Amino acid sequence: MTPEDLANLAHLRRARDLIDREYAKPLDVPAMARHALMSPAHFARRFRAVYGETPYSYLMTRRIERAMALLRGGMSVTDACMTVGCTSLGSFSSRFREIVGETPSAYRSREHSAVAAMPPCVAKLHTRPTRTTPARVRGADDTTAP
């Protein structure tokens, strides 16, 4: 790695740390890019190349992760949505289902006693949401035979 690559990586880490700390505040790509001392387009490209997802996707994953903890604690879906910085309950619920695989209310109503028994560092590791890409559906232009 060149010294310039290392400097860019440090700037990207600074922006990622900002997202981790300030996830509940209104953040947009230009604000994150300013924190990383990059243009918004360059920042978005570099962030995706380094972390494997867009800055906005990373922000939403952090918000959903925090909402999961709030819902496990018994907070209402609407309150959890607003607490983590989302302004639309519909968009929050859609994104939650996309990332977690179930609706926020279904997640809230499930039993979470096993997570409560875990040390916080272990619970964080096991409850962290991960994005899974849906299986590719065979299209009409697909030339491979079944």
Strands (E), 3-144: none
Say whether pLDDT at 133 is over 80: no
Furthest CA-CA distance within the chain: 51
Residue whose pair of structure tokens reads 């299209």 in the numeric block: 139
What are 27-85's pLDDT values in tens digits?
A: 999 999 999 999 999 999 999 999 999 999 999 999 999 999 999 989 999 999 999 99
Distance CA 26, CA 34 (A): 14
Contact in structure between 18 and 35 (CB atoms under 8 Å): yes
First-last CA distance in the chain: 44
Q: What is the model's pTM?
A: 0.79
Residue whose pair of structure tokens reads 């018994």 in the numeric block: 74
What pLDDT, on the 0 to 100 scale, is given for residue 56? 93
Which residues, including other chains, have CB under 8 Å from residue 103's CB and lie 6 or more apart? 93, 96, 97
